[in-house]
Structure 1
Amino acid sequence: MPPESRARLAAFGDELVAIHRGLRAELARLRAETDDYLAGGARPRALKAHCLAFCAALTRHHTGEDRGAFPALAARYPDLRPLIAKMEEDHALVSGLLQSLEGVLDGVPADPDERDAARVRGELEGLSAIVESHFGFEERTIVAALNALPAEAGSTEDLLGLPGTETAGP
């Protein structure tokens, strides 16, 4: 059966929430690793790689929204354009925070000391606050509109930048 004729099992808005849930969990793991180390736990040797992987995933998600979901929503729901513009501004802010985190990580050795971990934690705390606010705003304002988009609008990855849980029906 061609993909365009398959029924979606998960609507795009629900996929957005699932993607956000996964990104929140990843950010929470990063924060926990850093906090554990600062509390006397094992040194997070893979902290830099873990942070960079998270940064890349969040960037892919926001780029996907900017190129896919937001134009589709703006075309179908012109009244959402001011909210979409706000979300795009948030994406630029988050991008700056990710660059700042990456800059801090560039100065962190493979075997970080407490001061290095504290700097990373500070960056993660700021990023967490902004990302949580942004995700909540998106979830309150566009989930219903995303759920109303037809399957022909694209895949979850086309619209939201990351693969979702969508699967084709029989």
Structure 2
Amino acid sequence: MRTDTAHARPDTYDMVVVHNAFRRHFRALPALVAGVAAGDVERARLLSGFLEELNTGLHSHHTGEDELMWPLLLERAPAASALILRLEEQHERIAELSTRALRDAAEFATAAEPAARDRFAAAAAALAAALDEHLAEEETHILSVVQDVMTVPEWRALGERGRAHMPKDRQLVFLGFLLHAASAPDRHKVLAELPLLARLAWRLLGRRTFDREYRQVYGTEPNW
């Protein structure tokens, strides 16, 4: 059970849950794009919109780290400053790749031309590779620093900021992406920490909505 004592260490499992959702879907996107038939504008627009939504979530996640995590770590863990600055630079590189991928996605969505499709797929692959590298380094080197120098309330504030910046009409679908990419124990943990009304909303509406959107994107049933 979590406590809020001065000596409690943040439980950083929730960031790994978020990372795993980003990993799964950004990795899948290049092949999904490459599989779109020439002229299939409906499918092209769907995947372009999927990238936009993924990017919205990623941008919010990284902005939260930029505002609430990196400054504290730089202040309290000066020995890790070179690593932290490199990860901040990776955020900038990922933002550049996201901008490129979004531009190529928008072009592809206009007519679903093969050349535009290939550019979008290549941009999505470059973005996924850079993100993989960043997330792995963050998990390997930074989460232990977080546990050493951040308080439980400070860590919770980071998660609360992410939820506050999520469009309210998409919160249950975003929750579905997180849960679907999580291990069974982590899925149980995430749900157990939600307010009762949020758990009920997920069971009554969220999962059904997520399953429908997952089928649209992936063309298959989500494997729960």
TM over 0.5: yes
| 1:167 is aligned to 2:193 | yes
Can you list the C-alpha shifts for 1:95-132, whole angstroms capped at 9, x where unaligned? Answer: 11111112212322355132222111000111111111
SS at match of 1:46: helix
Q: Indicate the percent of aligned positions where both proteins have the same amino acid.
A: 20
Segments of 5+ residues of structure 1 without an aligned counterpart are none
Paired residues of 1:9 and 1:168 also in contact (CA < 8 A): no
Cα distance in structure 1, aligned partners of 2:4 and 2:20: 27
Amino acid at match of 1:152: P
What is the match of residue 63 of structure 1? 63
Question: Offset at 1:30?
Answer: 1.9
Q: Secondary structure of the residue that 1:117 maps to in structure 2?
A: helix
Corresponding letter in the other structure for 2:159: E
Q: What is the identity, as a one-letter code, of the residue corresponding to 1:76?
A: R
Structure with bigger RCO (C-alpha 8 Å, 6+ apart): 1
- The answer for the alignment partner of 1:94 in structure 2 is 94
Distance in 2 (alpha carbons) for counterparts of 1:136 and 1:162: 23
Q: Say if 1:33 and 1:44, in contact at 8 Å, map to a contact too.
A: no
The DSSP-based 3-state class of the residue aligned with 1:37 is coil
Post-superposition Cα deviations, 1:34-89, rounded to whole Å, max 9, x if no partner, equal: 13326xx9944401110111111111111111111111222221212111110111
In structure 1, the residue matched to 2:141 is: 141
More helix per residue: 1 or 2?
2
Pair 1:150-2:151 in alignment = yes
Structure 1 segments, 4+ long, off by >6 Å, are none
**Is the Cα–Cα contact under 8 Å of residues 23 and 58 in structure 1 kept in the other structure?**
yes
Shift of 1:158: 5.0
User: What is the CA RMSD across the aligned residues, in angstroms?
Assistant: 3.1
Q: TM-score, normalised by structure 1?
A: 0.79
| Corresponding residue SS for 2:108 | coil
Matches within 5 A, 1:1-170: 11-12=11-12, 14-37=13-36, 43-148=43-148, 149-155=150-156, 156-158=158-160, 161=162, 165=190, 167=193
CA distance in 2, matches of 1:66, 1:140: 18
Give me the whole-angstrom Cα distance separating, in 1, the residues matched to 2:144 and 2:100.
33
> TM-score, normalized by length of structure 2?
0.62
Aligned length: 161
